[in-house]
Amino acid sequence: MDYGLAKRATVRSLRTGRCSHDDVCDAHPYLLRAARYHGEPTERLCPVCERRNVTNVTYVYGDELGRQVGRVKATSDLAEMAREYREFRVYVVEVCQGCGWNHLTVSFVLGNGDPPQET
């Protein structure tokens, strides 16, 4: 699912004064840290401060993931995970490390779809 429409609506609300900078630039310190150390840089300028490029932070969630649930993953790791697990959900959040803007950009499901193994 692409959250581009929601992002544009949020930015429009900020620019028209219906919400404040503090309402949209509220990245949690853990998210900012994940962006700094594990995020993937982009060429997209922050829609709020327009001074820095946003960083993508990719999280994975799924019943089969065990200790990997909620962990930040590199995009390059997702293909291998899709072969290994039946199903898991991926969430990509864009983060500006300058002003604290953060927004869910896309979510999708990956996995091999194989039935669970009988033991």
Closest CA to 25 of 54, 57, 3, 4: 54
pTM flag (> 0.85): yes
Per-residue pLDDT of the chain (119 residues; tens, 9 = 90+): 989 999 999 999 999 999 999 999 999 999 999 999 999 999 999 999 999 999 999 999 999 999 999 999 999 999 999 999 999 999 999 999 999 999 999 999 999 987 666 55
CB 110 within 8 A of CB 82: yes
CA distances in angstroms from 17 to 10, 13, 25, listed in the order given: 11, 6, 14
Question: What are the beta bridge partners of residue 88?
Answer: 110
Closest CA to 74 of 40, 111, 34: 40
